[in-house]
Amino acid sequence: MALLTLMVGLPGSGKTTRARQLAVETGALRLTPDEWQARLFADDMHHPDHDRRHDTVEAIMWDVAAHILSRGGDVILDFGFWSRVERAGFAARAQALGADCIVQFEDVPFAELERRVAARNETAAGGHFVIPVAMLREWAQRFEAPDADEMAGRFSPPASFASDNH
C-alpha cells in the first residue's frame, strides 16, 4: 500500500534533513516547497505574494503526490503541517487514494529552534529563507504538535479542511 509521510514541525526542527534521509532510505518521492519556491522566486519571504506563491507551489506538489500515491508510490510531503485539521485533511486525501498516512515529528525545544534558525539566517543558502526570530516566535504560538493518536497514524476526521500550512 502506498504511504504518505507528513513532515511536521516549525522551521529549524530538522524536517527537510529527515525528509531527505527518508527519501534515500525508502525511495519515496520527497516534495519540499521551500526548495521549489526559492528556485522560482529567490528569498521572497517578505514579498506581498509570498503566501500566495507558497500555496500555489504546495497545490502543485499535492497534484504530483496524488498521482504517485494513486499508482502505489510513496510520497514525503515536507510542508510543516502546523495544524491538526490540516494533517487530518491530508490523511483523508491519502485514504481516498488508497494510501496510508503517517507523521514524522521531532519535538525540538524552542530555544534550539531559535538557535538553528538564527544560524541558518547567517547563510540563507540551500533553499532556506531568512526568517526573523520574532516571526518564528509568532508561528510557535500557532503550532499544534501531533498527539499520540496522530503519531500512531490515527487522524480525527476533519470537520473542514482549510490549508493554512507553511
Q: What is the CATH number of the domain that holds 80?
A: 3.40.50.300
- Do residues 161 and 96 lie in contact, with contact meaning Cβ atoms separated by under 8 Å? no
Q: How far apart are CA 72 and CA 74, in angstroms?
A: 7
Q: How far apart are CA 59 and CA 79, in angstroms?
A: 11
Residue 96 lies in a domain: yes
Residue 35 pLDDT: 83
Residue 163 pLDDT: 45
The amino acid sitting at 137 is: R
Per-residue pLDDT of the chain (166 residues; tens, 9 = 90+): 999 999 999 999 999 999 999 999 999 999 998 888 778 777 666 778 878 888 899 999 999 999 999 999 999 999 999 999 999 999 999 999 999 999 999 899 999 999 999 888 887 655 556 788 888 999 999 999 999 999 999 998 765 544 444 4
Residue 27 lies in a domain: yes
Residue 41 lies in a domain: yes
The amino acid sitting at 164 is: D
Residue 62 lies in a domain: yes
Compute how many other C-beta atoms are within 10 angstroms of the C-beta atom of residue 28.
Answer: 20
Count of domains for the chain: 1
DSSP lists the bridge partners of residue 7 as 104
Residue 92 pLDDT: 95
Residue 134 pLDDT: 87
Residue 131 structural domain = 3-151
Residue 165 pLDDT: 46
Residue 160 lies in a domain: no
